[in-house]
Amino acid sequence: MTSDGIETTFDLLIFGAGGHAKAASDCAKDKYSSMCFVSGDDVNGEWKGVPIIPEARYSFGQWKQISKKAFVAIGNPSRRAMVTAELEANGFEIVSLVHPSAIVSPSAELEPGVFVGPNAVINADARIDRGAIINTGAIVEHECCVGPFSHLSPGSIICGGTRIGEGCWICTGTTVSDHIVIGDHTVIGAGAVVIKDLPDHVMAAGIPSRIVKELNEEK
């Protein structure tokens, strides 16, 4: 232990200790030989050999001595955005994690903090903005843009030229037709088929999809 109370160092800090953090560790293990989960819920222990350390144990300065590389594995998009901004402000390097089985075009652009899960596909000239989740088996076709901190759930398909806004949740099995624009913080229910643009802060569902609820902007 150092004079600053640091017990050990790691190649990567994963902020979060839930299911998404476990999936993130699977993506990270081929690139980072050592990592730990940083729990915001004062959880202490380990999972499959990966230590779980409460965030409150150390200051940001001390965490940065443990590792300057961080990934935010928090499912809630607003919380994920807040923690990402806080880490960046404190000088951490936010990394992206891509599962070895995923296919990412050389011409695609991934910003920091992106998660690309097993068997996901990101095709030519697609852009995935910071903190977005492209989950298991999701497909992002050519020239699409997925906005910051949005989440494409397993098996969702986003066809060519589509624009997904910030903080959206595209639920499992959804298909979005080509050249569609989805507004910020919009939710699309599981199995929906989207053939028309959708505005900000709505929930849509069905085949074809229709707006079923207005969402509170503050949430």
Residues marked as catalytic: 142
State how beta strands 175-176 and 50-54 pair: unpaired
Distance separating alpha carbons of residues 16 and 36, to the nearest angstrom = 10
What are the structure tokens assigned to 152, written together? 């494409």
| Residue 154, amino acid | P
Distance separating alpha carbons of residues 56 and 146, to the nearest angstrom = 33
Distances (CA, A) of 172 to 66, 80, 126, 131, 180: 36, 20, 20, 19, 18
Q: Spell out the residues 6+ positions from residue 9 whose beta carbon is closer than 8 angstroms to its own.
A: 34, 65, 66, 67
DSSP E strand stretches across 106-186: 109-110, 115-116, 121-122, 127-128, 133-134, 139-140, 145-146, 151-152, 157-158, 163-164, 169-170, 175-176, 181-182
Q: What is the dihedral of CA 16, 17, 23, 26, to 10 degrees?
A: 100
